[in-house]
């Protein structure tokens, strides 16, 4: 499912216009992004938790030359589904 299909689904099931559903989805994405940028996490009961993870610096290899390169540390978004979502997939 892509973003357009998600907007169509929300608009149909929430009985709202596609424009309103699009604005709502964009607002949710923006809220999650801003909170993660601040180092926080976002928990949705019945869905899961978005959080910031830390990836340590490491040594990698350039696939073309085989030379060693240093890959710097990074912050990465992570998602942990809740138990109800996991059970829904079984």
pLDDT, one tens digit per residue, over 56-75 is: 999 999 999 999 999 999 99
pTM: 0.79
Sheet holding 42-44, edge to edge: 42-44, 48-55, 74-81
Please give the CATH number for the structural domain made up of 3-88.
Answer: 4.10.520.10
Q: Summarize the confidence of residues 81-86 as an average pLDDT.
A: 94
pLDDT value for 51: 97
Domain boundaries along the sequence of the chain: 3-88
pLDDT value for 25: 96
Range 31-37 contact pairs with CB under 8 angstroms and sequence separation of 24 or more: 36/77
22 or 90: which carries more pLDDT confidence? 22
pLDDT band per the 50, 70, 90 thresholds, residue 19: very high
């Amino acid at each position: 499912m892509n973003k357009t299909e998600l907007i169509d689904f929300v608009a149909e099931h929430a009985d709202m216009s596609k424009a309103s559903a699009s604005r709502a989805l964009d607002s949710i994405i923006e809220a999650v992004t801003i909170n993660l940028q601040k180092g926080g996490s976002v928990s949705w009961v019945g869905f899961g938790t978005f959080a910031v993870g830390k990836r340590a610096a490491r040594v990698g290899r350039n696939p073309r030359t085989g030379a060693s390169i240093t890959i710097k540390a990074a912050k990465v978004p992570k998602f942990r589904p809740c138990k109800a979502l996991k059970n829904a997939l079984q």
